[in-house]
Amino acid sequence: MPVRRVLTGITTTGTPHLGNYVGAIRPAVRASVQPGVESFYFLADYHALVKCQEPERVQRSTLEIAATWLALGLDPEKVWFYRQSDIPEIPELTWFLGCVAAKGLLNRAHAYKAAVDANTQAGEDPDAGISLGLFNYPVLMAADILLFNAHEVPVGRDQIQHIEMARDMGQRFNHVYGGEYFTLPEARVDESTALLPGLDGRKMSKSYDNAIPLWLPAKDLRKAITGIVTNSQAPGEPKDPAASHLYTIYQAFADAGEAERMRRAYADGIAWGEAKQALYERIERELAPARERYQELVAHPARIEEVLRAGAAKARVRATPFMETLRGAVGLRKLSDPVARAAGTSRKGHAGPRFVQYREDGKFHFNLLDASGSRVAWSKAFDNPKEAADVMARLPREATFHERAILLGDEPVANIGPGEAAAKDVGDLLRAIASAAP
């Protein structure tokens, strides 16, 4: 079975809360033991600097988040667990990607556009207060992903654009330097992941000041749960679980049997105080053992530092040689190294026939290039990158079966020059790609 690489980053700007645990941490830890998967988890402390200039907070958050993942069962021996700033190849790759990334692409990033729009509405200069870090954020994120050639990146819907931009940059680099250096990642959005309401019923978030910290002591956890907003329905009056924030949180922790029993209790008119006590007991039962491990880890930061340093060394076993390949690709080589080709000769002339995928106007396309890098066929527009990739995989396999019909049928997938000779040339190129495939 082919190995799938899955990468997750955690920004170090705050203390984890119950929403983080249910929505991201718990499912990621469970996924880390799946067979056939290589899991990469990193503490995104470079990203933290974009929106936080409080050194103590960044350091404390790094400690707390690392301790959280370890306390909840992430095994650093079985995954790649590292601190972003311990991998010098990441900022170096950020520069490489920044040199091929289109500024127009970055202009469309949601966070940057939102900041510009806010300034414009306030009558300010469009770029007032906007740092290069904010503008360049998608490039750094692309480097995080592409350095380890991740196949999948679990994200919320608001982050899908960043994965698409990483694909764009990876494909652009591959095209400019004539090789398949980067795997093009896919966003993985888990629609079943629960979004917890906070104390006031809105989505649980530090920015709303309505979050319940993950590692509150038992008495403080009970107090926080007591503060969750409910309606004025009296004990004995039937209550609708679907309209209850308490039930939503309870369901995120309970198994199917527990959730059904609580649903019946709501129908029977459970008192809000009793429902809050049940929620407290269920959460406490799940988190109490991990809380003890967390407190032990936080009390010994040197142990966590050792884990992160070891994780960085493990990650760099992958990153360092790959970065050397990329350095060679862009021409950053020792002057004593043999010159592989005459000055002015493009690397593309030595790459062999190949497909190059790209994105334009929100659609996905590919070109078929010959060994000189000249375009001999080009695809129709596809709605998503997977459709384009599937066709690129299919065409070489089917090249011996009426190439012209495959390419120029009733609904052609690609366009080529006129005449049977042109179709035959394309067929020859496709067969060459097929024979070179591993």
Residue 339 lies in a domain: no
Residue 410 lies in a domain: yes
pLDDT tens for the chain, 438 residues long, are: 578 999 999 999 989 999 999 988 999 999 999 999 999 999 999 999 999 999 999 999 999 999 999 999 999 999 999 999 999 999 999 999 999 999 999 999 999 999 999 999 999 999 999 999 999 999 999 999 999 999 999 988 888 999 999 999 999 999 999 889 999 999 988 766 667 999 998 989 887 889 999 999 999 999 999 999 999 999 999 999 999 999 999 999 999 999 999 999 999 999 999 999 999 999 999 999 999 999 999 999 999 999 999 999 999 999 999 999 999 999 998 887 765 543 333 444 345 677 777 666 667 777 777 665 566 677 778 888 777 777 777 777 655 444 444 454 445 555 554 444 455 566 666 666 655 554
Looking at residue 386, which CATH number applies to its domain?
A: 2.30.29.80
Residue 366 lies in a domain: yes
Q: Does residue 167 sit in the same domain as residue 257?
A: no
Q: Does residue 152 sit in the same domain as residue 31?
A: yes
Looking at residue 243, which CATH number applies to its domain?
A: 1.10.240.10
Instruction: Say what the pLDDT of residue 432 is.
Output: 64
Task: Tell me how crowded residue 388 is: count the other CB atoms within 10 A of its CB.
Answer: 24
Question: Contact, 353 vs 368, CB < 8 A?
Answer: yes
Residue 127 lies in a domain: yes
Instruction: Say what the pLDDT of residue 414 is.
Output: 57
Cβ burial of 360 (10 Å; 0-12, 13-18, 19+) is exposed
3-state secondary structure of 105: helix
Instruction: Say what the pLDDT of residue 112 is.
Output: 95
Q: Does residue 244 sit in the same domain as residue 369?
A: no
What's the residue count for the chain? 438
Q: Does residue 319 sit in the same domain as residue 244?
A: no
Q: Does residue 309 sit in the same domain as residue 351?
A: no
Overall number of domains in the chain: 3
Q: Which domain holds residue 420?
A: 347-436
Q: Does residue 276 sit in the same domain as residue 315?
A: no
Can you point out the beta strands (E) in 12-136?
37-44, 80-83
Long-range CB pairs of 53-61 (<8 Å, 24+ gap) are 57/13, 57/14, 58/12, 58/13, 61/12, 61/13, 61/14, 61/15
Instruction: Say what the pLDDT of residue 124 is.
Output: 96
Q: Does residue 123 sit in the same domain as residue 266?
A: no
Q: Does residue 306 sit in the same domain as residue 280?
A: no
Question: Contact, 169 vs 139, CB < 8 A?
Answer: yes
Residue 106 lies in a domain: yes
Instruction: Say what the pLDDT of residue 270 is.
Output: 96
Taking Cα atoms as reference points, which of 71, 8, 69 lies closest to residue 44?
8
Residue 265 lies in a domain: yes
Instruction: Say what the pLDDT of residue 402 is.
Output: 45
Residue 398 lies in a domain: yes
Instruction: Say what the pLDDT of residue 356 is.
Output: 74
Looking at residue 147, which CATH number applies to its domain?
A: 3.40.50.620
Instruction: Say what the pLDDT of residue 424 is.
Output: 54
Q: Does residue 294 sit in the same domain as residue 307?
A: no
- Give the span between the Cα atoms of 318 and 76, in whole angstroms: 16
Q: Does residue 37 sit in the same domain as residue 163?
A: yes
Residue 80 lies in a domain: yes
Q: Does residue 279 sit in the same domain as residue 380?
A: no
Give buried/exposed letters for 262-294 (b at 16+ CB in 10 A, else e): bbebbeeebebeebbebbbebbbeebeebbeeb
Instruction: Say what the pLDDT of residue 383 is.
Output: 83
Q: Does residue 249 sit in the same domain as residue 168?
A: no
